[in-house]
Amino acid sequence: MEQTIHWGILEFEQGQIYIAATPNGLCYVGSPEEDFDYMVKRFPAADFAENAEALEPYARELKEYLEGARTDFSLPVDVKGTPFQEAVWTALREIPYGATYTYSDIAEKIGKPAAVRAVGTAIGANPILITVPCHRVIGKNGSITGYRGGIAMKQHLLELENVQSKG
């Protein structure tokens, strides 16, 4: 059975991003560098329907965050991955606004201290940018490292949260 995913476009100061939700919650937040096809590739068995009305609560919370008026999200998310990925994504949601963790910190938090590289891979597979705040994970030396949305977007999100970073 095909799942229907409602999608829309969120316009904000730095451009526009695709967002999508199932009836169970937000399932995708893209970046200004990602087009519609990128979103579709993440959910190959889904039926996509543009529906700005269904996405309005999600778009409102994201826009408030991007405008500096919100520090956390209250609406549900619907993310599916391997048990390891889901553990990493849960740990990411526990990083407080304005704080950063390292990849090693996340590996420790999920009880897999030797799995630092796998943590990085799971973070890279995060389908919900911003809401599952992978931008808050930085290199051990404090440097801004890879981000699906691009380093400029990651830097912007960290600056929005008043995070002072090295590099």
pLDDT class of 167 with cuts at 50, 70, 90: very low
State the catalytic residues: 134
Percent of the chain past pLDDT 70, that is, above it, reads 96
Q: Which of 91-100, 126-135, 144-153 has the lowest mean pLDDT?
A: 144-153
119 within 8 A of 103, measured Cβ to Cβ: yes
Over residues 51-70, the mean pLDDT reads: 95
Looking at this protein, which amino acid is placed at residue 104?
A: S
The predicted-structure confidence for 88-117, as pLDDT tens digits, reads as follows 999 999 999 999 999 999 999 999 999 999
Q: Which two tokens stand for residue 37?
A: 């096809």
Instruction: State yes or no: pLDDT of 70 exceeds 70.
Output: yes
**End-to-end alpha-carbon separation of the chain, Å?**
47
Residue ranges per domain, the chain? Answer: 4-66, 83-160
CA–CA distance, 78 with 154 (Å, rounded to integer): 23
Instruction: State yes or no: pLDDT of 1 exceeds 60.
Output: no
Query: Exposed, middle or buried, 62 (CB in 10 Å: 0-12/13-18/19+)?
Result: buried
Nearest-Å Rg of the Cα atoms of the chain is: 15
Q: Which CATH class is domain 4-66?
A: alpha beta
Model pTM?
A: 0.91
Q: Which CATH class is domain 83-160?
A: mainly alpha
CA–CA distance, 7 with 156 (Å, rounded to integer): 24
Neighbours of 89 (CB within 10 A): 23
CA–CA distance, 70 with 111 (Å, rounded to integer): 30
